[in-house]
Structure 1
Amino acid sequence: MISAALTVEQRQRLVRVARGQEDGDLLIRGASVVQPATREVFEADVVIAEGRIAAFGPGYGAARVVGARGAFLAPGFMDGHVHIESSLLTPAGFARAVLPRGTTGIVAEPHELVNVVGAAGLGWMLDAGRSSGLRVWASAPSCVPASEFEQGGAAVGAADIAEMLALPSVLGLAEMMNYPGVLNADPGVWEVLEAGRRAGGFGAARRMDGHASGVGGRDLHAYAAAGLHSDHEATTPEEARERLRAGLWLMVREGSAARNLAALLPVLREGPRRAMLVSDDVSVDELLELGHLDRLLRMCVSGGLHPADAVALVTCNPAEYWGLHDYGLLAPGYHADCVLLKDLAGFEVLETFVGGQEARAGSSTPPLPGGGVDLGAGWSAATFDVPAHWPVMEVRPDQITTGMGAPGSGDTRLVVADRYGRAGPGQTAHSTCWTSGTGLTGGTLGISVLHDAHNAAFLGGTDADIRAAGAALEQLGGGVVVVAGGEVRASLPLPYAGLMTDADPHAAAAAVGQITAAVRALGCVLPYPVTTLSFLGLTVIPALKLTPRGLLDVGAWQMIGGADHN
C-alpha cells in the first residue's frame, strides 16, 4: 500500500487546511502526541487531509472527529528489516497480524521467496503487499544463493539485481550475507555491490544492507569500507558499539530465532543516533501471542529508555535510513500513518491509521506459481547414517548461531535434502549430521522452510519416520509436518512456494501450536522449534550448518564432508 505523490491541488488544499481556511478529513482531538524528533509528549489536536498530517493545534475542524481523550498518538511503527515469509504468512496474512499491533509499514527482504522462485518473487511480494493494507517496500536480495555452498530453486546475478533495483518501491540492496566474498574480492559479489552503487544515480549508492555475523576488527572496517551501511547481526554490546563506531547503522534484532534486544539495551540507553529495532524473522504464533514492534517497545521502556526515544527506533529512524522522507513523524506534510495508544508502557493499541484511514488488512493474495517439494525417486528407500568423525552441531534455543561439539556428543540427527528434484534417477541428494540441544528423542519434525535455499530439513527420528515426513511434505507441496511411528501427528501446508499460507493468522498460529506441542511431547525443548530448525542450513551464520552437499564449517569457510547419495 504505497501512496502516490500529492498533486499540486491536493498539496494546496493541505496548506489551506493547515492555515485553518478549510476543514480537514479527520481530526484526532485531545491526543497526547509523541514527538520523537524533539523527545517530548504534548497535548494537541491533529488534523489530517489528503492522507497527510496538515497541522496540530487548537481550533481545527474536520469532516470526522475522533476523540483521543488523552490517549497517546504516535507515528505508525515501521519494521526496517523483515522477512515476511518467516512468519509463514502471505503479506495479507502478515498485515492481519501486525496492523492491530500498530505496525503500518515494513521493508521486506524477500530473499526466501527469491531463492525458491527467482527474481519474479520480488515482484510478487510487492504486488501482494500493495493489496495487504500495509505499506510494503522492499530491498533487492543480494545473495541468492547465500553462498557457493547452497543451491536453492534459483540463482540471481548482478544483472537480475539491477532489474530488481529499478522496480518502484525497492529502496536498496538487501543484506550482503556473503561477507567472505566481500572481504576476498569475489568477482560475483563485487558485481552485485556495484549494481547497488549504480542504482543510486549521481555516483551515490542506494542503501546497501549489511549482514556480518561474527565479523569484527579490521575485517569489520573492511566490510564497511566496501560500501555497506548497516548490520543487524550484533549480539553483544561490544559488537554493537564497534558497528556504530564504524559508521554502520545498528539494526537491533529481536525475532523468534535470534533475540538480541535484551543484550543490546545498554547500548540503546546510551542514545546512539543511528539505530533502529527490527524483527528480521518472527513466527506467526509469536506475533499473535507476544506482538510485533509493540513488544520491542515494551522491552525498551521497561529497560530504561525514554518512550520518545524508544518510539524513534521504530518510526523516524528507519524512515530516515531508507530515505522515506515523508514517513516516521507526526508532522505537517508527513503521511498520516499513526497509532493511538493507551499508554507508553504497555503500548496497547487502541486504533491504527494508515493514510488517515482506519487500518484494514487485505483479503486477497495473487497466485504464485512454483515451489513444490520433490525429494527424488530414491527417497522411499533412503537411509541416513552420519559419518562418525563429523563434529556435532550444537543448537541454541535463542540464537541462529550454532556451536561445534566433539564427535560422538550428539543425540538427535539432522537431515537436509534437496527439495527441487535435482537428484538423478532412483537417487536422492541429502546429508546428515548429529545435533545436540534440541531434546528431541523420538519422531521427526520436517520442514520445507530452510534458510536461505529452502531445501527440506528433518530433525530426529528413525529412517522410516524421516522418509514418511519427506513423503508428507511432497504430498502437501511444502509445509511443516511432525511424524512419529510412521503417522503424521501435526501439519501445516504452505502452498505459496513451500513457505507461506494464506490462512487466517489465528488458524496458522493454531497449527504451529499443535506442531510445537507435538514435538514437545517427543522431548523437544526448543521454544520455537520450527523457526530454530529453519536456520540450521544457513551457511553464512557460524559455526556449523548442514546443506544437501554436506556439513559446512562456516568459520573455516569449507565443507567438512560431502553429501551422501543414496
Structure 2
Amino acid sequence: MRRPDGGERAARERLVRVARGLEDGDLLVRGVQVIQPATGEVFGADVLVAEGRVAALVGTGSGARAARVVEARGAFLAPGFMDAHVHIESSLLTPARFAEAVLPRGTTAVVAEPHEVANVLGAPGLAWMLEAGRSSGLRVFASVPSCVPASEFECGGATLGAEEVAGALRLPGVLGLAEMMNYPGVLGGDSGVWDVLEAGRGGRVDGHAAGVSGRDLMAYAAAGIHSDHEATTPEEARERLRAGLWLMVREGSAARNLEALLPVLRSGPRRAMLVSDDVSVDELLELGHLDRLMRACVAGGLHPADAVALVTCNPAEYWGLRDLGLVAPGYHADFVLLRDLVGFEVLETFVSGVEARAGGVTPPLPGGGVTLGPGWDAATFDIPAHWPVMEIRPDQITTGMGELGTGDARLVVADRYGRGEHSTCWTSGSGLTGGALAVSVLHDAHHVAILGGTDADVRAAGRALEELGGGVVVVAGGEVRASLPLPFAGLMSDLPPREAAARLSEVTAAARALGCRLPYPVTTLSFLGLSVIPALKLTPRGLLDVTQWRLLPREEELSRGLPLLPGGRRLHGNAED
C-alpha cells in the first residue's frame, strides 16, 4: 500500500528492493497472461506489486513473495482502462455513482470534460467535479471547458473567459484544455476564442470539428489543436490522422461511430483511442463501458492487444499520464483481470494494487435548479411558418434540415435561468405522437427541452422539472407519467446506478407508450440544442442554422427586409457578417 506520509523517495527505494527480490511485496498476482499493448504481446508472468505500483513482472514459479497472493489461474491481465474524453454528467450520475457503474467494467481512470456542470455553475462546477472525483474510487482527471457558452448563440448559467480558464488550468488533476467546439471562432479569428486558446497554449488542446475538412481542417489543426472525436466516416478519420490530430473514435449513447471507423483502426494507426464521450446510465449497466468497445473492435478484426492499446497506453500517452497505461515496473498498479480477450469479461479491477471499490460521499453542489418564471403558466408555443423542420437522427448528434410541413413533433427550448426566453420548432424522426418528454439536460447551455405535447402538456412538463430541481419527465394529459430527478445542477443523480437506471427505464417506457421510437430518447433529446453541431439546433433565442452560423428570423422580423440565405431563408438581424 501507498505510504501515508507520501514519501516518494522512500516508496521508490522500497519498490526497487522488492523488484530485486530483497524484500517481499504487498501483492503477488500469480499465473496471469499479461497483455502488453506497447508491443502487442501476451505472455505468462507473475506480477509483483508494492507501494501501489508494479515492482516487477517475473517468471511463473520464480519464488517471488508478497503479503498477499491472488491466484489468477491463467486469467488475462490488462492495464486499467482509461476513457480519454467523457462527460460524466451525461451518465446522469454523480462521479461516485458513475464509478460504481464503470469500475466493475475495468475502467480505472477517466479524463472528464465537465462543461455541462461548468455551463450551469461556472468554475465552481469544475472544482466540484474534481473534488467529487477524488473520493469516488476512480481516477478522475479533467480538462478545462474551452467553450462556456459553446457559441455566441447560447447563454447558459455561467461564462468562462480566458482568465477563468487560465486559473482552472492550474488546478491539481487538470490535464489541458477541453474540446474547442467553436471552430468558426477559431477559423474566423474571434478574439475571445483565441484568448482562451492562448490561455491553454503549451498543454494539450482537445478538438471538436464536426464536418470540418480540407483547408479548414488544416487551419484548425494549425491553431494548435491536438485531437478530434467528431469523425464519422473513414475518410474523415484518415484526414484527421494525416493532419497530425490524434483520432478519438467515439461510441456513446447519442453518437455511434465505431463501426464506421473500424476499417481505419484495422490499419493500425499509431495515434488513436476509443472514447465514450456521452453514455447514459442504462447503457453503462446493460452494455458496458470501454469493455464493450473493445469487444466490438476484436469482433471487427483487431488483435486484442491493439484493442487494449486504444484504451490504455495510447490515451495515457496523449494526456501525459506517464505512470498509467501499462503493466510495467514503476507504473501505478491499476490493472484488470479478464476471463478472455473476446468478451472482455472483467473478473476483478485493481487500483493502486487494491481491489477497486467505489466510495465516498458526494459533496454538496449548491444552485443549478430550474427557474422558468411566472410567465410560463400562460406561455404559448407557436412555430414560425417559414422555419424548416429539424430531422432527428437516432444514432448521431447531428440533425438534418427537412422541408416545411414534414414535422411530427414540436420541440420547445426554454431558458431555465429565469430570463423568460423560449423558442419552438418542428422536428421529425422521433415518432412521438402524444404527451411530452422533457429534460433539463440540454448540451451545452442546459436549458429545458420539451419534445411533443400540447401547450398544456409543455407547461406542465416545465413546472414538473422546476419542482424536481431539474431532471427528466414524461407528461401526458397534464400529469407526470414517469420521472428521474437530477438535483445536482439539474444534471446528475446520486441514486445508486441501478435505481437511477430503473427510473430512466420508466421514463423511456413512458415515452415509448407515446410513440417515441428513439433508442435512447433522453440522450438524443439532450443534444438538440447544441449550437456547434450541424445542421439545425434550437436555443431559447431561436432556431440556429449551424451550417450558415446564423439564427433564422422569427415572423416579426420578416418585414425588416433582412437578406436571404440560400433556399430563401433570411438572416437573423443580430447575426450578420
Contact 1:430 1:564 in 2 (8 A): no
CA distance in structure 1 between the aligned counterparts of 2:422 and 2:379, rounded to whole angstroms: 9
Aligned equivalent of 1:202: none
* 1:485 correspondence with 2:477: yes
CA distance in structure 2 between the aligned counterparts of 1:474 and 1:548, rounded to whole angstroms: 17
Contact 2:118 2:124 in 1 (8 A): yes
Q: Deviations over 1:77-124 (max 9, x none)?
A: 000000000000000000000000000000000000000001111110
Q: Deviations over 1:321-377 (max 9, x none)?
A: 000001000000000000000000000000000000000101410000110111111
Aligned equivalent of 2:131: 127
Aligned equivalent of 1:161: 165
* 1:545 correspondence with 2:549: no
CA distance in structure 1 between the aligned counterparts of 2:237 and 2:172, rounded to whole angstroms: 32
1:508 match: secondary structure:
helix
CA distance in structure 2 between the aligned counterparts of 1:336 and 1:225, rounded to whole angstroms: 37
* 1:325 correspondence with 2:322: yes
Aligned equivalent of 1:431: 423
Aligned equivalent of 2:213: 216
CA distance in structure 1 between the aligned counterparts of 2:467 and 2:433, rounded to whole angstroms: 25
CA distance in structure 1 between the aligned counterparts of 2:514 and 2:235, rounded to whole angstroms: 39
* 1:307 correspondence with 2:304: yes
**Closer, same or farther in 2 for the Cα pair 1:374/1:329, shift >3 Å?**
same
Contact 2:77 2:338 in 1 (8 A): yes
Aligned equivalent of 1:139: 143
Q: How many residues align?
A: 552
Q: Deviations over 1:506-557 (max 9, x none)?
A: 0000011000000001000000000000000000000000000000000000
CA offset at residue 564 of structure 1? Answer: 9.5
Could you tell me which of 59, 71, 77 is aligned with 2:63? 59
**Closer, same or farther in 2 for the Cα pair 1:140/1:563, shift >3 Å?**
farther
* 1:375 correspondence with 2:367: no
CA distance in structure 2 between the aligned counterparts of 1:366 and 1:90, rounded to whole angstroms: 10
Aligned equivalent of 2:116: 112
Aligned equivalent of 1:200: none
TM-score, length-scaled by structure 2: 0.95
Letter in 2 for 1:126: L
CA offset at residue 561 of structure 1? Answer: 2.5
Contact 2:384 2:555 in 1 (8 A): no
Aligned equivalent of 1:531: 523
**Closer, same or farther in 2 for the Cα pair 1:16/1:506, shift >3 Å?**
same
CA distance in structure 2 between the aligned counterparts of 1:440 and 1:72, rounded to whole angstroms: 46
2:200 match: secondary structure:
helix
CA distance in structure 1 between the aligned counterparts of 2:166 and 2:48, rounded to whole angstroms: 41
Contact 1:549 1:563 in 2 (8 A): no
2:363 match: secondary structure:
coil
Contact 1:395 1:437 in 2 (8 A): yes
Aligned equivalent of 2:552: 560
Aligned equivalent of 1:201: none
Aligned equivalent of 2:464: 472
* 1:9 correspondence with 2:10: yes
**Closer, same or farther in 2 for the Cα pair 1:563/1:346, shift >3 Å?**
farther
Aligned equivalent of 1:43: 44
CA distance in structure 2 between the aligned counterparts of 1:235 and 1:560, rounded to whole angstroms: 27
CA offset at residue 262 of structure 1? Answer: 0.3
CA distance in structure 1 between the aligned counterparts of 2:554 and 2:141, rounded to whole angstroms: 39
* 1:316 correspondence with 2:339: no
Contact 1:431 1:564 in 2 (8 A): no
Aligned equivalent of 1:26: 27
Q: Deviations over 1:217-246 (max 9, x none)?
A: 000000000000000000000000000000
Q: How does 1:87-486 map to 2 (within 5 A)?
A: 87-197=91-201, 205-423=202-420, 429-486=421-478
Letter in 1 for 2:212: V
Q: Deviations over 1:190-227 (max 9, x none)?
A: 00000001xxxxxxx10000000000000000000000
Letter in 1 for 2:164: D
Letter in 1 for 2:23: E
1:320 match: secondary structure:
helix
TM-score, length-scaled by structure 1: 0.96
Aligned equivalent of 1:81: 85
Aligned equivalent of 2:574: none
CA distance in structure 2 between the aligned counterparts of 1:560 and 1:271, rounded to whole angstroms: 44
CA distance in structure 1 between the aligned counterparts of 2:8 and 2:545, rounded to whole angstroms: 56
1:378 match: secondary structure:
helix
* 1:508 correspondence with 2:500: yes
Q: Which runs of 5+ in 2 are unaligned?
A: 558-577
Contact 1:256 1:281 in 2 (8 A): yes
**Closer, same or farther in 2 for the Cα pair 1:208/1:6, shift >3 Å?**
farther
CA distance in structure 1 between the aligned counterparts of 2:555 and 2:227, rounded to whole angstroms: 35
Letter in 2 for 1:118: G
Q: Deviations over 1:430-474 (max 9, x none)?
A: 000000000000000010000000000000011100000001001
CA offset at residue 504 of structure 1? Answer: 0.2
Letter in 2 for 1:338: F
Letter in 2 for 1:410: G
**Closer, same or farther in 2 for the Cα pair 1:6/1:536, shift >3 Å?**
farther
Contact 1:94 1:505 in 2 (8 A): yes
CA offset at residue 59 of structure 1? Answer: 2.4
Deviating above 4 A after TM superposition, structure 1's stretches of 4 or more consecutive aligned residues are 2-6, 562-565
Letter in 2 for 1:67: E
Letter in 1 for 2:160: V
Q: Which runs of 5+ in 1 are unaligned?
A: 198-204, 424-428
CA offset at residue 563 of structure 1? Answer: 9.6
2:425 match: secondary structure:
strand
CA distance in structure 2 between the aligned counterparts of 1:5 and 1:149, rounded to whole angstroms: 48
User: Comparing 181-190 with 361-370, which one deviates more in the overlay?
Assistant: 361-370
**Closer, same or farther in 2 for the Cα pair 1:563/1:44, shift >3 Å?**
farther
Q: Deviations over 1:379-403 (max 9, x none)?
A: 0111111111100000000000000
Contact 2:100 2:358 in 1 (8 A): yes
Contact 1:182 1:223 in 2 (8 A): yes
CA distance in structure 2 between the aligned counterparts of 1:247 and 1:319, rounded to whole angstroms: 18
2:216 match: secondary structure:
helix
1:192 match: secondary structure:
helix
Q: Deviations over 1:467-494 (max 9, x none)?
A: 0000100100100000001110000100
CA offset at residue 7 of structure 1? Answer: 1.4
Contact 1:431 1:563 in 2 (8 A): no
Please tell me the root mean square deviation across aligned C-alpha atoms, in Å: 1.3
CA distance in structure 1 between the aligned counterparts of 2:490 and 2:269, rounded to whole angstroms: 40
Q: Deviations over 1:172-197 (max 9, x none)?
A: 00000000000000000000000001
1:166 match: secondary structure:
coil
Contact 2:323 2:330 in 1 (8 A): yes
CA distance in structure 2 between the aligned counterparts of 1:456 and 1:129, rounded to whole angstroms: 27
CA distance in structure 2 between the aligned counterparts of 1:375 and 1:564, rounded to whole angstroms: 24
Letter in 2 for 1:29: R
**Closer, same or farther in 2 for the Cα pair 1:506/1:286, shift >3 Å?**
same
CA distance in structure 1 between the aligned counterparts of 2:325 and 2:189, rounded to whole angstroms: 37
Contact 1:550 1:563 in 2 (8 A): no
1:536 match: secondary structure:
coil
Letter in 2 for 1:53: V
2:27 match: secondary structure:
strand
CA offset at residue 422 of structure 1? Answer: 1.6
CA distance in structure 2 between the aligned counterparts of 1:339 and 1:76, rounded to whole angstroms: 6
1:139 match: secondary structure:
strand
CA distance in structure 2 between the aligned counterparts of 1:149 and 1:116, rounded to whole angstroms: 16
